[in-house]
Structure 1
Amino acid sequence: MTDPAAPVDWDLWQSVVYEGPSAVARTSAEELSVAIASGIPSAIRGVVWQVLAQSKNEELETVYRELVVRGTDKDKDTMAVPNGHHPPSSTVNSNGKKKDSVASSSSSIHSGHSTPATSATNGLTSPSPSQEKDTESIMKLQAAMMAERKKKAKEDAAALQKLEKVIKKDLGARTSYSKFAVAAGLQEGLFGVCKAYALFDEGVGYAQGMNFLVMPLLFNMPEEEAFCLLVRLMNQYHLREMFIQDMPGLHLHLYQFERLLEDLEPALYCHLHRRGVAPQLYATQWFLTLFAYRFPLQLVLRVYDLILSEGLEGAILKFGILLMQKNAETLLGMNDMSGLTNFLKDRLFDVYIDQAPSSTSRLESGFFGSSGGIDKEVYRADLLVQDACAVKITPEVLKSYTAEWEEKQRAEKEREAELESLRTANASLALKVRSLEERTEKSDTEHVQMASELVRTKVENQELQDSVESLKGQVEELRNMVERQPEEVEKRLKEEMDRIMKRNVEVQNENRSLEEQMADMEKTLVETKMQNAEISSEHDNLKQKWNDLRRAIEA
């Protein structure tokens, strides 16, 4: 590495500006790398940045001017053109490429009927009923479309106001050079670039801390050019991937950083890993702000020099690994997680503070925005950049880490898909279990009802059995009575006949005197026979009833 105090090779930088870095790299690649590592001259830094990134784009600058006035009085004046039509304008997509479009605030509606004919003699003819109906339908459609446009315009205005409020609130976040930016009158331009990019790239919008990325650009170029360079950084340098949904770029760089730390500083990696201090706790701010949240401006500009020349990935990882290596001994002596995290966030950069700065370095630090507050220190920027460039991180290593991360992400997605499938299956089984539980509850209820019915039936059956037994006893008594009654009647009849015969013998001697008694006796006999017949009839009826009852019982 050459001496940073060596004179600037203006011829080399002139060749870079006019011929392009690719042409210079073909003949003087090493000299160009050394010159960039030594620091791009501040007088031409903005121009060189645009050349390195190839960000100059007049169409994109026009888009910026249109976006920055969106929602302002100037925008309303531009929109107020005759007949409600906008002149043709060219837009640029999120990759900075031009595409033609014609904007129009009014919509034409074509009817399937011709206009009513006019008469030269009688004047204008009255429209027919069908034409009046079509005209009324068209007017209603136009009114509905107008109401929809007004509603959409109102929603867009509300969203724009909310966006502007968020950006203005975030501009209060301070870097070590924010006061210098205010003193330089860059606040309006900072707000404009942040707002324009949020409207330009809806996939990113405005992310918190994006002003940290824009501020160094505005120190070196006008707003329009800063916007173009920001678009270039977001797309061609893949900075956008760290701000879109799920932040895949950020997670990739954190994984690469952790793997590099494991390979280059295994003892420090194990020390931090055992204490639960992951890179997400301290390195996230590094990568999202490109170290601007803590570095003074003279160091941030040097970081941008390397990013625009070497690419985002390698540059930020080199600075991150270097800071960990320089503080490895101190970090290994700390065992508290909270202390480690605070040191990594705030004091990791102190190792490059110049304890005895020269007047030149003090002047340079003051020029670059160390304007009081917590950052009054002067940093050894050249030494830090030289050390960072000396960190060996090959593209092959980063490629292998990227492949590992992609495989890990794929496995994680597969695991998440499997978990989701299991959750779905679990939910389905839970529904089935609930259904079975409901069916079981219903079955239990039915079982209880059936058991109660069975008990009631058994009780009733027992009562019926008792009643049947009682009836059986009564029938048996009746049957015995019926069986005994003919014998008694016959016996009584026999006795009576004997008595009558005896009496008849006795009466024979009395003859006529006893005829009346004999008649009475015959009458009595007749009555007795009739009673016997009745008794026989009753006996047959009882017998029939008994047979019927027995058959009923047997059934």
Structure 2
Amino acid sequence: MNTSSASKTAAVVNDFDLNVVDEALLNPEKPEYVDHFGFTVQVKTDHESDSSDSEEEENGKSDTPAFSVSPQTNSTRNTIPTVRQQNVKENNAIATIVDADRTEHAELASHNNNIEDWQLIPSIEQLGSNTASENDNSVQRPTHSPTPSTTSYYELLLSKFTRSGHQNSSKQTQLKEETSHNLEQLKEQSSRGDIDWEFWSSVISDFDRVNATQHSKFRLLISIGIPSQLRGKLWRIFSNSETDSDLVEEEYRELLDQTSPHEKVIRRDLPRTFPSLPYFKDKGGEGQEMLFNVIKAYSLFDEHVGYCQGLHFVVGVLLLHMPDEAAFCVLLKLMGHYGLRGHFTPQMETLHRHMYQFDQLLLQHLPQIHRHLDAQGVMPSMYTSQWFMTLFAYRCPLDLVFRVFDLLFVEGSHIILNFALALMKKNQQVILSLDFESLLDFFSGTIFDAYKENAYDFAQDAYKFDISTKQLAKLSKQYEAEAAKEAKMQSIEDSIRRENFELQDQIKKLKLSYKTLEEEHQDIAQQVISSKMSMAALDAENQQLKHELAVMKAEMIKIKNCMDDERQRQFDELAQHNAHLVATNSSLEDRLSELEGLLIDMKLKYAESENDYQLMKQKLHEAQKLSSLPR
């Protein structure tokens, strides 16, 4: 089944929408369908498609994609917010100097910095006898190309840079003209005649057309390598990053004035990024600062991703070939159009899908390696996550990394699966001889040595794996089905795990209660034993006390009898003594009465004598008074 565009202005989609395919198979009579983006898709039969293709070939339009869509309504487009358009002119002189500086650092990083990378490979004419021709079926146009991210959140972020096509193409045209000028300068300076300058010129002028009509030749030349002086600009052309780049660069400069919550972590990882390269070696140097700026700006632009380790290496490779503003523009394309954003989101959904696809492709193409790794317990996530997240930039020779980026910008992000399979096949004998720990060490760096001096073979071996879009879509669907099944099982497991946790918590509490009761029981038992021992001791003591009490009672009776006799004797003595005292008291009372009578007599006599004294005293006074009178 093939599809054609609904109108001449239809937007092109280079990948099949599986929902549309399924609906078309179930309802073949319908003339059109609606995909998950809200676009109307027209479907043609094989007969209609064949006739249409023949007409297009006659008209020279064989590069029309098999799948095209047109907007269903204008309301969908109008719901996307836009920002005020501002045209920021680029200073070409400064950009040229900065780009030349990046190129110089890239050449210093190369293993053969004194020889141009395409000069290390035989010429196209020399390879003609060993390479498939333009019409050879062994070299086919890729059936999968970069697809836009389906994450609505990220599309909404990018929508602020959307504007009219005429304005969009201005900077892209300027970049093409500048690249063409650089190509002419290289052509004049180069003494080699085996470089197809005209082909590269046509690539710069119309990349999409050349990639569609001369893809076999394009594959060969890009495997040989893009001229290092043009690599950065061609990456920008391939990714179409200059579309609305003035708005993106303005956004970039505004983001640099803000503060990111990830700045501390980003700076911590800066010295770990290409530490052997002079451009990134110095702390606070230009390379580290540009790297920090781009990653910081992206962490602010895409808050859902923020910052994730591995992004340093992707941005670092870009900065070796272009200024930081251009690197930020290309990074947005890589994350969105090429679908790499899913490598760095919290769920890493695209990374997991790529690892699943790689595992199934490894089983299909290299089953012996797959069986060996499975027997050793080595899962793809243990080594491919590092490869895919950094696009092989971690511990891989830079000339190989540049080939990966070259092919990725042309073929799409799925090409990393081809490179991973090429590495596995090239090192098959070594892999089959290693155990678990040795395999992990080997995959972390040594595996790249097989292609260390030949990046051309690395690219060509990657192209040898024929992986169709249909196969990748099928694997993606299988992954989604298994992921959904696993998520369902995970949900059940989580529910069981929660119940198990609650039961374990209850068991723990019961065990704690049982332990407490057991301790209390032991304490009570110990107390009972102690009580019984105390009771036995008390019983013995009680018997002793009873015996002592009986003895004391006998003594008390004896003492009582003695005390009664003594008390009677003493009573008799006291009675006699009391009678004597009574008699004595009576005698004394009589004597007292006599003395009282005498006392009364004495007092009377004393009173009489006192009266006599007073009379005599008065008489004496009168006599003295008389004697004192004059005679």
Shift of 1:269: 0.9
Give the counterpart of 1:333 among 433, 445, 450: 433
Question: What is the CA deviation profile of residues 174-203 of structure 1, one whole-angstrom value per residue up to 9, with x for unaligned ones?
Answer: 437533444894222111111111111111
Aligned CA distance change for structure 1 residues 163 and 12 (closer, same or farther; 3 Å): same
**Is the partner of 1:312 in helix, strand or coil?**
coil
> Match for 2:226 among 29, 33, 40?
40
Determine whether 1:167 maps to 2:266. yes
* TM-score, reference length from structure 2: 0.48
Q: How many pairs are equivalent?
A: 327
- Residue 8 of structure 1 deviates from its aligned partner by 2.6
Deviations 1:143-164 (A, max 9, x none): xxxxxxxxxxxxxxxxx3x522
AA in 2 matched with 1:402: S
Matching residue of 1:388: 462
Q: What SS is found at the alignment partner of 2:295?
A: helix
For residues 316-340 of structure 1, the C-alpha deviation after alignment (integer angstroms, 9 at most, x for no partner) is 1111111111111112122x31112
Deviates more, 1:340-349 or 1:195-204: 340-349
- Residue 15 and residue 209 in structure 1: after superposition, are their counterparts in 2 closer, same or farther (change >3 A)? same
CA contact (8 A) 2:255 2:297 kept: yes
- Change in Cα spacing, 1:318 to 1:436, as seen in structure 2 (3 Å) is closer
Whether 1:415 aligns to 2:489 is yes
Post-superposition Cα deviations, 1:476-498, rounded to whole Å, max 9, x if no partner, equal xxxxxxxxxxxxxxxxxxxxxxx
| Superimposed CA distance per residue, residues 420-443 of structure 1 (whole angstroms, 9 cap, x where no aligned partner) | 333455678789999999xxxxxx
1:43 Cα deviation (Å)? Answer: 1.8
Give runs of aligned pairs for residues 534-553 of structure 1, distance below 5 A. none
Matches within 5 A, 1:319-358: 319-334=419-434, 336-353=435-452
Superimposed CA distance per residue, residues 229-252 of structure 1 (whole angstroms, 9 cap, x where no aligned partner):
001100111111011012111111
How far, CA to CA, are the matches of 2:274 and 2:123 in structure 1? 28
Q: List per-residue Cα deviations over 1:401-424 (Å, max 9, x = no partner).
A: 111111110101111222233345
What TM-score comes out, normalization by structure 1 length? 0.54
Q: Distance in 1 between matches of 2:278 and 2:505?
A: 62
Counterpart for residue 523 of structure 1: none
Alpha-carbon distance in 2 for matches of 1:337, 1:436: 44
Alpha-carbon shift at residue 12 of structure 1 (Å): 2.1
Report % sequence identity: 39
Work out the CA distance in 2 between the residues paired with 1:267 and 1:406: 26
Which residue identity is paired with 2:395? Answer: R
- Quick check: 2:314–2:393 contact (8 Å CA) kept in 1? yes
Give the equivalent residue in structure 2 for 1:109: none
Match of 1:197 among 289, 295, 298: 298
Cα offset, 1:15, TM superposition: 2.2
Q: What residue is the counterpart of 2:340 in the other structure?
A: 239
Across the aligned residues of Structure 1 and Structure 2, the Cα RMSD in angstroms comes to 3.2
Amino acid at match of 2:247: E
Distance in 2 separating the partners of 1:322 and 1:337: 21
Give the 3 Å change call, closer, same or farther, for CA 197–431 of structure 1 in structure 2.
closer
**Aligned match of 1:296 in 391, 397, 409?**
397
Could you tell me whether the CA contact under 8 Å between 1:17 and 1:47 is conserved in 2? Answer: no
**Structure 1 residue 268 displacement after superposition:** 1.3
Q: Distance in 2 between matches of 1:345 and 1:328?
A: 16
- 1:214 CA displacement: 0.6
SS for the counterpart of 2:460 is: helix
C-alpha distance after superposition, 1:368-405 (max 9, x if no partner): xxxxxxxxxxx211121122122222222222211111
* Inter-partner Cα distance in structure 1 for 2:339 and 2:327: 17
Stretches of structure 2 lacking an aligned partner (at least 5 in a row): 1-118, 125-193, 512-631
Q: Are 2:132 and 1:31 equivalent residues in the alignment?
A: no
Q: CA deviation at 1:262?
A: 1.0
Q: Is the 8 A contact 1:177 1:296 kept in 2?
A: no
> Which shows bigger deviation, 247-256 or 420-429?
420-429
Q: 1:283 to 1:435 in 2, by over 3 A?
A: closer
State the secondary structure of the residue aligned to 1:175. coil
Q: Is the 8 A contact 2:275 2:281 kept in 1?
A: no
Distance, in Å, in 1 between the alignment partners of 2:504 and 2:208 is 64
| Contact in 1 for aligned 2:396/2:445 (Cα 8 Å) | no
